[in-house]
Chain A
Amino acid sequence: NAGVTQTPKFQVLKTGQSMTLQCAQDMNHEYMSWYRQDPGMGLRLIHYSVGAGITDQGEVPNGYNVSRSTTEDFPLRLLSAAPSQTSVYFCASSYSIWRTEAFFGQGTRLTVV
């Protein structure tokens, strides 16, 4: 059972480039979310999804897009990378919104230069 898988683990982007962070879970969880972790800021919610075809914004959504075409996948797109998006990104999933013991992926460390 792989749980939540994030790819890539590390990425360096130039300012203005776009990319997609991949997240997949094999637990048939309805609820998925993306967080970013910055020093002194904890984990901040970027976007979340309560099921396939349904997404909504979190605390810090600007500069990011998401879509949820299947239950398993929840990619995060950076449209035009900025140095302020340098961070560690975590994807998480949970069985439903009523059971919020989320399972997290290993993280993607992104550096924008």
Chain B
Amino acid sequence: DQQVKQNSPSLSVQEGRISILNCDYTNSMFDYFLWYKKYPAEGPTFLISISSIKDKNEDGRFTVFLNKSAKHLSLHIVPSQPGDSAVYFCAASAGGSSNTGKLIFGQGTTLQVKP
């Protein structure tokens, strides 16, 4: 059972426009969420995170939104740049007394930003 799902395998946007990548989760124990970016032949790199006590976190062009009631989060990239073309992974972990530090990843969404 996939606890973290990214239902869109790919997304294509024009340079300068907004990219919105979506992620859904099923485990209500998840309380910390992260986005990673991965270029071909490289390891994933951390992009941005959000704790469940917040509903929004911004870092430059990247904003993550969390809707706990819907068990949904999204990553907004504004404005999108060709260098943003990569695979984006959503990940989640459970804290509190059940915290083991395990990160559970989604399947990934391939973003293509066209010049």
Chain A interface (Cβ < 8 Å from any Cβ of B): 4, 31, 33, 35, 40-45, 48, 50, 56, 58-59, 90, 92, 94, 96-98, 100-107
Which residue on chain B has the smallest CB distance to residue A58? B102
> Once the chains are docked, how many angstroms separate the CA of A97 from the CA of B95?
9
* Chain B interface, DSSP helix/strand/loop, else mixed: loop
Given A4-B43, A42-B89, A43-B44, A97–B106 Cβ distance below 8 Å?
no
Tell me which of B9, B42, B102 contacts A106 (CB under 8 A): B42
Known: A100-B34, A101-B49. A45 touches B104 (CB 8 A): yes
- Shortest C-beta distance, B94 to chain A (Å), equals 10
Complex: chain A residue closest to B5, CB-CB: A42
How many residue pairs, one in A and one in B, have C-beta atoms under 8 Å apart? 69
User: Taking the complex as formed, is B45 at the interface, i.e. its CB lies under 8 A from any CB of chain A?
Assistant: yes
Contact bitstring B8-47, A, C-beta under 8 A = 1, else 0:
0100000000000000000000001010100001111110
Residues of B within 8 A of A106 (CB): 41-43
Contact of A97 among B4, B42, B49, B100 (CB under 8 A): B100
